[in-house]
Amino acid sequence: QLQLQESGPGLVKPSETLSLTCTVSGGSISSSSYYWGWIRQPPGKGLEWIGSIYYSGSTYYNPSLKSRVTISVDTSKNQFSLKLSSVTAADTAVYYCASGQVIGAFDIWGQGTMVTVSS
Amino acid sequence: DIQMTQSPSTLSASVGDRVTITCRASQSISSWLAWYQQKPGKAPKLLIYKASSLESGVPSRFSGSGSGTEFTLTISSLQPDDFATYYCQQYNSYRWTFGQGTKVEIK
């Protein structure tokens, strides 16, 4: 059974880069059976898709965040990562990594990690 | 970009009630619609994919229907464990968008 676990700093200063990693267990990140994504949820608010990456390495980003987002895969560590640059308080949220086997849906989610942007 | 609008935003219901949540897309998404349940402090859980396919392990009281721009999630008989927030999510051309959520509260 595939499992995902987010890790990274819980506090980031304004204007700096937020960096998170999602470690995949129970399956290979290189498998063509999966695609991988990042979703976030500001406190008390709804879900926002940040971006996705496929086994081929192709990446797709939310247009509203595209200029600041990079998602990449490290096959040697079975991990994928998120970098969000020039953060502000509006980027404070719980960040989830997720995977999908069925086209269009994310069926496996990490537990989420809270990231606060503050000086 | 495709916008997803859920209604209602909040729904008050009793155990045993039949509950229906609606999700409307700003343009046709065929059947590329998923539904999730989220409880406080927890990650979302996939309930329905491709508009009407029940995810493995999800109780059969949950069902989804619709295509194009209009979709519904129905809970046939609301159970105590079902009080939560529900989100629809569309997929189109390698982009995903979530609805704003519907909170199902105890009446």
Each residue's pLDDT tens digit, A81-99? 999 999 999 999 999 999 9
| Nearest-Cα residue of chain B relative to residue A101 | B49
Comparing CB atoms, the residue among B49, B55, B98 nearest residue A46 is: B98
The pLDDT score that the predictor gives to residue A103 is 82
3-state percent breakdown (helix, strand, coil) of chain A, nearest 5: 5, 50, 45
The pLDDT score that the predictor gives to residue A48 is 98
- The rounded mean pLDDT for chain B is 97
Select the more confidently predicted residue: B93 or B14.
B14
Round to whole Å and give the CA distance between A30 and B72.
35
Q: How close is the nearest chain B Cα to the Cα of A30, in Å?
A: 19
Structure tokens at A37: 């994504």
Q: Cα angle vertex B60, ends B57, B64, to 5°?
A: 105
Comparing CB atoms, the residue among A39, A105, A112 nearest residue B46 is: A105
Q: What is the pLDDT of residues B59-75, one digit of tens each?
A: 999 999 999 999 999 99
Do A96 and B99 make contact, defined as CB atoms within 8 angstroms?
no
User: Which pLDDT tens digits describe chain A residue by residue (119 residues)?
Assistant: 899 999 999 999 999 999 999 999 999 999 888 999 999 999 999 999 999 999 888 999 999 999 999 999 999 999 999 999 999 999 999 999 999 987 889 999 999 999 999 99
Length of chain B: 107
The per-residue DSSP string of A57-96 comes to --EEE-TTTGGGEEEEEETTTTEEEEEE-S--GGG-EEEE
Q: Which of residues 40-69 of A touch B (CB under 8 A)?
A: 46-49, 52, 60, 62-63
Cβ contacts of A104 on chain B, cutoff 8 Å = 32-34, 49-50, 90-91, 96
Round to whole Å and give the CA distance between A41 and A93.
5
